[in-house]
Amino acid sequence: MKFAIVDIETTGLFHQGHGITEVAVVGLEDGKIEMLFQQLFNPGRDIPISVEAITGISRELIADKGHISDALDELTAVLEDRIFVAHNANFDYQFLKAVFEKEKYPFKRKRLCTLRYARKMYPELKSHRLDVLCDFLGIQNVAKHRAFGDAMATARLLLHLMSKDEEFLTLKKLLGRSEHHIVLPSNLDERDVIDLPERPGVYYMFGLETKPLYIGKAKSLKKRVLSHFTASGSSRRKQLFQRLVHRVEFKETSSEYHALLLEDAEIKKYWPKLNRAQKEKNQAIAVVPYEDRTGAKRLAMVRQPQAEVDVLSWFNSLHSAKNWLCRCCLEYGIDPARAGLPAFEEIPNYDRQEEAEALESFIQKCFSEKKKSYVLLEQTSRRFALVTEGRYRGFGEMKEKDLTELEEFEKAMRPARDSPVARAVVRTMLADEKIKKIDL
């Protein structure tokens, strides 16, 4: 096997908005180490003082250097037909991949992470940072935090790990995984992912703290969690996952409805810093009635209604709101123009008086439904969602007997905050023939 051991220095942690200041590539073949490439670059942006203090690479040092895009042909030559190796390989790989692809160069390499390799070979160590491993193994690094020093130290580390790896079994396993385009975070025990079930549920990603970094729901827990670690992903959040995630936990649920409600409740409880969608104020769509300048009633789809009492129904997306309005207009004989929708070809004409009465009837029915209290029961799992006077209250499970009274449901449920997301789930459950509605 031929290896290209790579180390880069950058102006920041993410390739979006940051640049490369140094690249070093060390070749390893048949136990022989040689420097293949080492060069400083001008990233075309300022170097933060904190980064300069660590690397020693200053604005003056790289003032007369070229940009890394000028060296891609040379880098392609030294990386060709070699396994891409780095300590925390995803960081170096994604930075270089972004530069190559910006200049229309193909960049797809089999890769090996020596940090993950070291974790396999020395699981007893609390830290597997390069400097810690070098101290532990007596490997000299002549230039810490410089690309050429760290690349050479990583090459010596790789040689040591291979010498300890009987028949290279661990190495071959790691390389085989990379071919499937899944790159697990270096601090994450692969058993946390291997043991995930292929069932609905909610998963929790943790760093070093007890509070989760991210909470998500899934139809298949294993498939969804792995999707966060695909090698092709280069978003800022995926890079944060690679750096910060140390463990993954999960809770199985009986259905996707249960997973959606549990996810919403858990996000509202912990407010994980990497969750964005359900922390944004305007993520849900509300359908509301209003009067135009002529006094005629109309319907509108808005992100932030002025008053909660005006809302007829909530939706997770504009698409689902439009679909619901189309069905309601057809069912009640309402002119779709009143809801800002295109005309229905199969119903070209409307009686204005009858149509206005139909719209008013539809609005009153929606308001009447909001005042009701009921339970939505998944009959196969006995899981339920409770709504009182039009407001979502929480979810739970019928265990020993059929419940009939509001107080019994309240005791059996987990209380949860009413939210646009929860209301949208309730609306979907109401339209599901498999869900039993029990009026209270």
**pLDDT band at 100; cut points 50, 70, 90:** very high
Q: Which of residues 254 and 234 earns the better pLDDT score?
A: 254
Average pLDDT, integer, range 52-81: 93
Q: What is the mean pLDDT of residues 19-36?
A: 94
| pLDDT at position 179 | 46
**What confidence tens digit (pLDDT) does each residue in 302-341 have?**
886 655 557 888 777 788 889 889 989 888 888 888 888 8
Question: Using one digit for the tens of pLDDT, what is the confidence trace for 133-156?
Answer: 999 999 999 899 999 999 999 999
pLDDT of 122 over the 60 cut: yes
pTM here is 0.56
Give the pLDDT confidence of 284-300 residue by residue, as tens digits. 788 999 999 988 899 99
**Cα dihedral 149/153/158/163 (nearest 10):** 150
According to the model, what pLDDT value does residue 177 have?
Answer: 63
Band of pLDDT at residue 282, cut at 50, 70 and 90: very low
**CA–CA distances in Å: residue 322 to residues 116, 317, 318, 327, 358:** 48, 9, 6, 9, 19
Mean pLDDT over the full length of the chain: 87
Q: Is 23 a residue whose pLDDT tops 90?
A: yes
Q: Select the more confidently predicted residue: 312 or 85.
A: 85
Q: What percent of the chain has pLDDT over 70?
A: 92
Per-residue model confidence (pLDDT) at position 309 = 57
Residue 283 to residue 101: CA distance in whole angstroms: 33
Among 19-33, 161-175, 330-344, 394-408, name the one with the lowest average pLDDT.
Answer: 394-408
Tell me which of 39-48, 394-403, 426-435 is least confident.
Answer: 394-403
Question: Is residue 342 very low, low, confident or very high in pLDDT (cuts 50, 70, 90)?
Answer: confident
3-state secondary structure 100-150: HHHCCCCCCCCEEEHHHHHHHHCCCCCCCCHHHHHHHHCCCCCCCCCHHHH
All structural domains of the chain:
2-178 (3.30.420.10), 191-279 (3.40.1440.10), 285-366 (no CATH), 374-439 (no CATH)
**CA gap 57, 51 in Å, rounded:** 8
